[in-house]
């Protein structure tokens, strides 16, 4: 089974298609390995697993893995419906290579509001400038006072864009004005 799932990232669409069909023919007994494949680092594996799970009639629950499934499917609002269990995989998507994915993850964290404040504060210490920037933006958009002090530490960030966003986020929190993020 694992070799078939590994073929979900093959360059040849025919090979990929045959792998999907083969896993579907295996049936519901393939579901545990497909669910595990949603945590794979490769997007192609995740996409293949999500599509195959859908073909097998799998129903996501309200846990982290289900949140990943909805992210892969592009149904970010479902992560908000899941709530707190979706926060760790949403934070993880702030490092994604695709800026659209990063923005969608950030938007979902903003919609989760106060639930995501503490994890976003923790994300401000990430080694990834994208994570620091999107976490700062989300905190500014949420407007929770708990974010103000941690954001101040980013004012001297080595990445100029991160320090600029932190400054704008702090201003939004202090004024209580609705902020839609940096331009």
pLDDT score, position 5: 65
Tens digit of pLDDT at every position of the chain (183 positions) = 456 666 666 566 677 677 767 767 787 888 888 898 898 888 888 888 898 899 999 999 999 999 999 999 999 999 999 999 999 999 999 999 999 999 999 999 999 999 999 999 999 999 999 999 999 999 999 999 999 999 999 999 999 999 999 999 999 999 988 777 764
Q: Where are the domains of the chain?
A: 2-55, 64-175
How far lies 140's CA from each of 28, 90, 115, 152, in Å? 44, 17, 14, 12
pLDDT score, position 4: 62
pLDDT score, position 141: 95
18 alpha-carbon distance from chain centroid: 29
pLDDT score, position 3: 67
C-beta of residue 181 within 8 angstroms of C-beta of residue 169: no
> Distance between CA 29 and CA 77 in Å, rounded?
29
Three-state DSSP class for 57?
Answer: coil
Task: Give the chain's radius of gyration (CA, Å).
Answer: 19
Domain 64-175: which CATH number of 1.25.10.10, 1.20.1260.10, 1.10.3720.10, 3.40.47.10: 1.25.10.10
Scanning the structure block, which residue is given the tokens 């594996």? 45
């Amino acid at each position: 089974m694992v070799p078939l799932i590994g073929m979900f990232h093959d360059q040849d669409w025919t090979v990929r298609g045959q792998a999907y069909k083969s896993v579907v023919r295996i049936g519901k007994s393939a579901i545990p390995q497909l669910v595990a494949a949603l945590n794979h680092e490769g997007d192609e594996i995740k996409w293949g697993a999500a599509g195959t799970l859908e073909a097998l009639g799998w129903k996501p629950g309200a846990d982290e893995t289900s949140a990943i499934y909805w992210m892969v499917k592009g149904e970010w609002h479902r992560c908000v419906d899941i709530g707190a269990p979706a926060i760790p995989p949403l934070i993880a998507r702030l490092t994604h290579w695709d800026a659209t994915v990063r923005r969608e993850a950030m938007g979902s964290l903003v919609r989760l509001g106060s639930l995501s404040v503490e994890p976003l504060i923790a994300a401000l210490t990430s080694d990834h400038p994208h994570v620091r920037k999107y976490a700062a933006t989300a905190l500014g958009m949420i407007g929770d006072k708990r974010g103000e002090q941690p954001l101040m530490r980013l004012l001297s960030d080595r990445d100029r864009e991160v320090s600029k966003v932190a400054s704008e986020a702090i201003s939004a929190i202090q004024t209580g004005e609705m902020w839609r993020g940096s331009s």
